Amino acid sequence: MDEQDPLTQAVIGAAIEVHREMGPGLLESIYQKCLVHELRLRKIECQPKARLHIAYKGEIIDDDDLVIDVFVPGRLVVELKAIEKLLPIHEAQLLTYLRLSKTHTGLLINFNVRLLKEGLKRMVL
């Protein structure tokens, strides 16, 4: 990865700590709760399960279907997975969340890996 901002580095550090404590093999929802707890311990304010409002032709049509796992509004979108391997569709999902939330930086984190750096992808719009 190239140079990162302090927030991204801090979130990656928190995710590494969660992975070190919990290991691979759990549900995504467990990692999400642990990561939010770890971020709050580190005084990083975030919104878990942040709902994205979908606007179509100037009208809000939905706010139930798209949920960001961990969101630092306007600064960082974190999409979590606990799967065998990351696929291009997961990157597309993160890019869509970035675009719709008007956020430039995102992290795609797969906790179901031996070393977390193997399941980490940073994306910038």
Q: Looking at the DSSP assignment, which residues form a beta bridge with residue 59? A: 56
Query: For residue 60, is it within any domain?
Result: yes
Query: For residue 1, is it within any domain?
Result: no
Q: Looking at the DSSP assignment, which residues form a beta bridge with residue 54? A: 62
pLDDT tens string 53-78: 888 898 888 767 789 999 999 899 99
Residue 116: is its pLDDT beyond 80?
Answer: yes
- Amino acid identity at 8: T
Two tokens, residue 114:
């031996």
Q: How confident is the model at residue 3 (pLDDT cuts 50, 70, 90)?
A: low
Report the number of distinct structural domains present in the chain. Answer: 1
